[in-house]
Chain A
């Protein structure tokens, strides 16, 4: 289990959308992005509520991990909540498409983990690890590793917005990392 001092939780971003979207491809698009970025995806929660007059409900939690090297590991926690899910038919460019209507809530939490294999496990090595992170490798941790994870999470954020066809889908920071 990762020690609390070795985990660095970066800012969580949230997306809330209410409207028509392609539910069938929603999870596939996000999963493919993780696979393309060499993340391993673990589904820690899947909850589906039987459709009621207001619609179906779906709650999914994903833990995704990527080992960068022997010391650093990236983790992105995803939380999905889809409510009032109903099937609808949409006419676009003279063709009828089957889509879904509902409310989508997504929370993206990037976490950076150092010493994930717990090699610095004695009190002396532990203090050496803290000294290393605080003084020797601080610039690299702040400006390289955590920045890379942070902006990769924003690329995912933009991908989700693009899939939902939100007005603010543009990502000018796409060029960073």
Chain B
């Protein structure tokens, strides 16, 4: 079985107010595309209710560092009471969305994702030994990289939402 180490667990970002769902989704997708992550969209649920749209997104993009290490970022985005509103800025009318959004970030480092070191008990034992003692500097390096990626994404999302907050 692949070893999965949790780097970031349930980091939350909550916002309520004006924002654009399309811009937010595009920002997240572009972020992963720029950083050479592979796209994986597990769930994309959208329900139209009288009080507004409910959107649930679950994404799990991954990035292979080596044939042994892989970085996975798990995002769960919940948007509730999303309505389309028209605001005026500098004399121009802009259509944006209004509602609540909650984003939950999880980060993992997976080792031996190709299952090469699981074929027998001896390999499994050696893998555990290497992970704990010999490969620790590499694991720490990739763990730091995973954390940095999630922090950077969170900051970019905050910047985007702050732009709408000031409108």
In which size bucket is the chain A interface? 20 to 34
Grouping DSSP codes into helix (H, G, I), strand (E, B) and loop, the B interface class, with mixed when no group exceeds half, is strand
Give the residue of B21, B29, B30, B43 whose beta carbon is less than 8 angstroms from that of A167: B21
The distance from the CB of A150 to the nearest CB of chain B, in whole angstroms, is 8
List B contacts of A66 (CB < 8 A): none
The answer, among A16, A151, A173, for a CB contact under 8 Å with B46, is: A16
Q: Which residue of A lies closest to B39 (CB)?
A: A173
Within 8 A of B (CB), among A123-171: 150-151, 154, 157, 161, 164, 166-171
Interface string of A18-56 (1 = CB under 8 A from B): 111000000000000000000000000000000000000
Contact A154 B44 (CB under 8 A): no
Would B29 and A172 count as touching, CB distance under 8 A?
A: yes
Residues on the B chain within 8 Å of A169, using CB = 22
Please tell me if the beta carbons of A168 and B44 are within 8 angstroms of each other in the complex: yes
The yes or no answer to A67 lying at the interface (CB within 8 A) is no
Q: Of A16, A19, A166, A173, which is within 8 A of B43 by CB? A: A16
Number of residue pairs A-B, CB distance < 8 angstroms: 65
CB neighbours of A150 from chain B (8 A): 38
With A18-B47, A19-B47, A173-B33 as known contacts, state yes or no: A168 contacts B42, CB within 8 Å.
no
8 Å CB interface, A52-95 against B: none
Fill in one digit per residue for B44-62: 1 if any A CB lies within 8 Å of its CB, else 0.
Answer: 1111100001010100000
Residue among B29, B42, B44 with most chain A CB within 10 A: B44
A19 adjacent to B46 (CB under 8 Å): yes
Cβ-based interface call for B165 (8 A): no
**Which of the residues B21, B39, B47, B48 comes within 8 Å of A168, measured between beta carbons?**
B21
B40 at the interface (CB under 8 A from A): yes
Tell me if A13 is interfacial: C-beta within 8 Å of chain B. yes
Closest chain-B Cβ to A38's Cβ sits at a distance in Å of 23
* Interface assignment of B25: CB less than 8 Å from any CB of chain A: yes
Distance (Å) between the CB of A177 and the closest chain B CB?
Answer: 11
Q: Can you give 25 contacting A-B residue pairs, CB < 8 Å? A: A13-B42, A14-B42, A15-B45, A16-B43, A16-B44, A16-B47, A17-B46, A17-B47, A19-B47, A19-B48, A20-B48, A151-B39, A157-B41, A157-B44, A161-B44, A167-B22, A167-B82, A167-B97, A168-B46, A168-B57, A170-B29, A172-B26, A172-B33, A173-B33, A173-B39
A sample of 12 more A-B contacts (CB under 8 A), given A150-B38, A166-B44, is A11-B40, A15-B45, A20-B48, A167-B21, A167-B46, A167-B55, A168-B22, A168-B57, A170-B26, A170-B29, A172-B26, A173-B39
> Interface residues, chain A, CB within 8 Å of chain B?
11, 13-20, 150-151, 154, 157, 161, 164, 166-173
